[in-house]
Amino acid sequence: MGTLIHRAYTAIRRAGAISPVSPGGYRFRRLGDGVSIAFPPGAIFGEQWIEIGDHTLIGERVSLSCGMMPGPDLGPASILRIGASCSIGRGSHIVAHQSIDIGDDVFTGPYVYITDQNHVYDDPDVPIGRQWPRNSPVSIGSGSWLGAGAIILPGTTLGRQCVVAGGAVVRGVFPDHSVVAGVPARRVRGYTPELGWHAPAGTLDVTSDTGMDRTRF
């Protein structure tokens, strides 16, 4: 019985995956060749404003959404763009309202959260959940790695080949080849051809004497 259950579940997962040729795939603005969104998916809506590049893999229970709820017209252009050959870890959430750009070859761990909208607390007399939220575009450069549980907040720009430590809460602009970590996240390492990977001036390199791979967290 156990073998039959596992075989049946494997068949269900295969049949339930969303691809460019499956019925669910036709709802997207674009799904490139070889894209697979694993079954079971998370909350997916606003597909007509989502583009996913060739050979990108989306893990189980990943939520991809545009807008606050299904139905509203969000305009003529795409809002959520994920590049080619990416891998989005299981349980992650990517929630777009204005513009989220994820480059090619971006990999994430599980349970990463990326959004371009945040609640505001401008009026101290109105419940925060009832105040109109504020949007700010997000861009994640090609070749970057986002560790498990990282949170990318509105207004963030990550350059190419960046590393985000697991659990980091990121907001701001970071250049190519940055390693960012912490809550709130800060740039703890960078790269130049002259020095290789090194801590920015005035920053303690906490990994220098640990024997760890200094580019990983």
DSSP alpha helices (H): ranges in the chain?
2-16
Residue 165 contacts residue 207 (beta carbons within 8 Å): no
- The percent of the chain in helix, strand and coil, each rounded to the nearest 5, is 10, 30, 60
Q: What distance, in Å, lies between the first and last C-alpha atoms of the chain?
A: 42
The single residue of 55, 93, 119, 177 carrying the catalytic annotation is 119
CA torsion 145→181→196→214, rounded to 10°? -90
Catalytic annotation present for 55: no
- Residues designated catalytic: 119
